Structure 1
């Protein structure tokens, strides 16, 4: 048994000064069979602690559930941290940001009439209490004073950038303490005076988030917290990527200099990220500061371990700097091996529109129901209505969230994209039906648009006249790999393609999508995530544990068009250009 306390200038572990050297690993972004490897490599860089967020929306896809199987087995993850001889920091939110869909808040929250997010609003407080109690049933027995690894727990997340409801923060503390969490509690905010003031409470230890000018940032933090250890809870040693932009990197020298400044003054640090991992499936978030910008599938983050878990130049530079202040193991992880290189032709198997009835139940309404009204948390909804006898003209939508493919009698007419502020398109020919396939490209994870609705928002008009009588079909595309596609027909719309390929043994793979359009891909039923010709990312990471010796199967949902219908697996990651 041990104890971590807040001292006059340091964290104290059993009464002795302790410098926390932590790295962020999001268990939900890493295949569970690879957790131990990533944790071990963190220790080899000289770290003594692992930090993780907890995603409410992943654990509780429906209210009353708390899923802990497979990649969501938080207890197993924390026990692996302990087995490596390391400590743990848990940050359960309930809001986590993390460039994760909706900042971790479950979409079913949005369907509660009158709910107010991140406020002391009774309905929200009741829901988050249920969630936190479920998290803490796992965390409490694994605290350091009971022989476990957890020695810090965070309250909320950068709350000073969002609100200033002290009653809300106090309620989070009450729920946490009543759930038998006895370790010190922390907050995190950017070292901005207003944010620090709004996001803190007496009795909570303040930490900061930054990636440069460490001495200056710590000085600001010290003004608000004259005593106690200095900690950068999010040391931004890289950054995330968005579709249509470049691959963000920070130089080794800049990041290493900022790290040295933190350690030199005795500060504690949590690398955000030590290893980013992947936004598998449709879990990526988005930003909207006047323009909607969804995030890519890769969460490589230019981190010390790359997306595939291989050490980078930053790993070795940070390891050398840490060694100036703390013991570092002699073992050094080897470079990542080249992955198997192969290619196989993809065969068109079926049209997505023709499979709609097998992927979801249609619902009729006078208007085009939103995702929230349909209970569709993410993915796709197919909207259809009759325009029999109507003259062709301009189809206008009040707002698209987020990307809409328009069909006239099943024939593609064009695309309306939120990120391009497009909401009208001309229908050149008279038609019987209009179909609109809408994709949620990622829920906003930061700022005032957190928790917004998805789908077709507002009124839809043809030649200025409202269109009514809509059928909406929520599509569960995760069912596609399990469908029998033999004998199906294709059409002019989105297409499902498949292929089989052989491996001598399970192995990490890197699927090159540069010649594809936009869509999703699965290997052996595992959703690798979204791809898009817009880039910058050109590869989808295939974790070795989802592959097998012998025959493997790939399924691709291509929403637009492939220049080359071939599945190519290449030697390594291709994350795109680093500047325009």
Structure 2
């Protein structure tokens, strides 16, 4: 072989390694047929499941995708989360667990196509529906509208997303087959000019492949933009799916259920949602038999860690913050193990495989363990932990303080001498009231509580209100009413209180060097610190049934919140975030500072309600 030929062969081989993995050759086409999708000019039925990259440790992405293949999925869907990628204005982050491009590439290596949903509004039971908190500091900005400031920030964001992901579209040699424009917009508005602006921004950002919209059946006309493929959410009657799509698409398909719900999510203080697989297997079989493509929401939920849970708002119930577990009663449980629903869905999908295809074996369940009980030997009261405050005549919101998430302490002076009503006009969302550092009671937005009677001795005293942001609303018309903290006036005996000091507790990280005391006698929220040994890292579930309310970190990872009211009683600790040998755990406990020992279990408890607060 001549030297020139050898060089040519070597270069071709390297290119084949780089681009020929996963789905085979990089040269693929994906298009719309009259009734089906067309992959490489052949009819193709999408069988997809939703997985959100930030809800799964990066170290476990590949394992979850292997489970998707084992159930029979050929595609995965994911949102892209603006508030993760631009947590502060102009500061973008696509590293670590935010590396969405790596997530897509791993899917390709595992033989999976990807449906991308970078809206930028996602809903998803996610904080502020995916919007970054700082948008509320842009005066006059109005999300999901033609307002100029919103469009300007949106454009900057989608351009950054395009840099990461546009090269990974199928028409550029990647595995992203479709990109969703906006997200259930018909449930919010009906401005077709705004939708066209969305489409153009996507194209300008490099998303020049197949674009589509998705909406529930009742809103699909309002949310669809002519020229884009319409998809339907929540409907699984084949005749109704086809009719709704044909009405918008010149009597043609293809037909895609963009969100098919095998169960539902949970929020604090209500029973766990769990639906038997038998209620869905027949529907799945019917949909696949009809040649309709599908995306299960969720195939695997995972966990909403950090302070990223959202909340719902209804007229009858003012506030419904979601729990940290996003188990969703999905086919793949929170830890990534196959459930009964997984196995039954797998059996249905197997009946619809192309001739000669066979599903891979189901990977074994991950082993789990119960740790030895952890005793906390260091702690600090939260009033001793905070740094300097900021003084202002009126209470400042989290946004005023440029604080995204977490907690804040509001302090001022009151004059006592009689039993008097304390009233907070706009508590967002959970407040613990103290007089001179002594706990007096709790106010809970979920329950419509904004006032309490206080018996304060004569003279001047310190009033402290510890406020928790429990997650911004992620759906509906109240997206623009999402500031946190104390958002209005506070009165005491009808008199407006002035001269406030605000102390920020964002807890983007915990200063463990401050946690030194062996025991705090105060009944304030408290930070507790301990270390524990692990011989072999395995999954475990921290058991908070004896605790009150708070958040937990292990080895610097914020695992999410717990609250004894349920239904979630355990917090999932993945093996990937444990170390052989010494590990560090920190807990912020709001209501039961006297509790000092933490147990764990081999299995989660996600369905236990309690009056214990």
Which TM-score band applies after superposition, normalised by the shorter structure? over 0.9
State the partner residue of 2:19: none
State the partner residue of 1:399: 426
Residue 444 of structure 1: SS of its match in structure 2? coil
> CA offset at residue 563 of structure 1?
7.4
Pick aligned residue for 1:333 from 343, 347, 363: 363
Residue 519 of structure 1: SS of its match in structure 2? strand
> CA offset at residue 486 of structure 1?
1.9
Contact 2:378 2:515 in 1 (8 A): no
The count of residues paired between Structure 1 and Structure 2 equals 575
Contact 1:186 1:204 in 2 (8 A): yes
State the partner residue of 1:437: 466
Structure 1: tracts of 5 or more residues without a match:
none
Residue 467 of structure 2: SS of its match in structure 1? strand
Look at both structures and tell me which one has the larger radius of gyration over its CA atoms.
Answer: 2
Q: Is 1:466 aligned with 2:496? A: yes
State the partner residue of 1:515: 546
Question: Map of 1:493-508 to 2, 5 A cutoff?
Answer: 493-508=524-539
Identify which range, 381-390 or 45-54, moves more after superposition: 381-390
Residue 256 of structure 1: SS of its match in structure 2? helix
Rounded Cα–Cα distance in structure 1 between residues aligned with 2:419 and 2:461 = 10
State the partner residue of 1:293: 320
> CA offset at residue 75 of structure 1?
1.0
Contact 1:513 1:531 in 2 (8 A): yes
Contact 1:340 1:507 in 2 (8 A): no
Question: Map of 1:186-265 to 2, 5 A cutoff?
Answer: 186-192=212-218, 195-210=219-234, 212-225=236-249, 226-265=251-290
Contact 2:263 2:274 in 1 (8 A): yes
Question: Map of 1:124-203 to 2, 5 A cutoff?
Answer: 124-192=150-218, 195-203=219-227
State the partner residue of 1:415: 442
Q: Is 1:114 aligned with 2:140? A: yes
CA RMSD in angstroms comes to 1.8
> CA offset at residue 489 of structure 1?
6.6
State the partner residue of 2:99: 73
1:483–1:261 Cα change, 3 Å: farther
Contact 2:122 2:130 in 1 (8 A): yes
Pick aligned residue for 2:484 from 438, 445, 454: 454
Contact 1:397 1:461 in 2 (8 A): yes
Pick aligned residue for 1:570 from 592, 601, 605: 601
Residue 52 of structure 1: SS of its match in structure 2? strand
TM-score (norm 2): 0.91
1:374–1:579 Cα change, 3 Å: closer
Residue 125 of structure 2: SS of its match in structure 1? coil
Contact 2:183 2:213 in 1 (8 A): yes
> CA offset at residue 179 of structure 1?
2.0
State the partner residue of 1:61: 87
Rounded Cα–Cα distance in structure 2 between residues aligned with 1:362 and 1:459 = 19
> CA offset at residue 61 of structure 1?
0.6
> CA offset at residue 211 of structure 1?
5.9
Q: Is 1:427 aligned with 2:454? A: yes
Rounded Cα–Cα distance in structure 2 between residues aligned with 1:515 and 1:389 = 36
Identify which range, 556-565 or 3-12, moves more after superposition: 556-565
> CA offset at residue 11 of structure 1?
0.5
TM-score (norm 1): 0.96
State the partner residue of 2:339: 312
Deviation per CA, 1:73-105, whole angstroms, max 9, x where unpaired?
Answer: 011101100100111111001100000000001
> CA offset at residue 341 of structure 1?
3.9
Structure 2: tracts of 5 or more residues without a match:
1-26
Contact 2:180 2:211 in 1 (8 A): yes
Deviation per CA, 1:389-437, whole angstroms, max 9, x where unpaired?
Answer: 6755211111211001111000111011111111111221225110001
> CA offset at residue 564 of structure 1?
4.5
Rounded Cα–Cα distance in structure 1 between residues aligned with 2:64 and 2:84 = 21
> CA offset at residue 342 of structure 1?
2.4
> CA offset at residue 388 of structure 1?
5.0
> CA offset at residue 336 of structure 1?
3.7
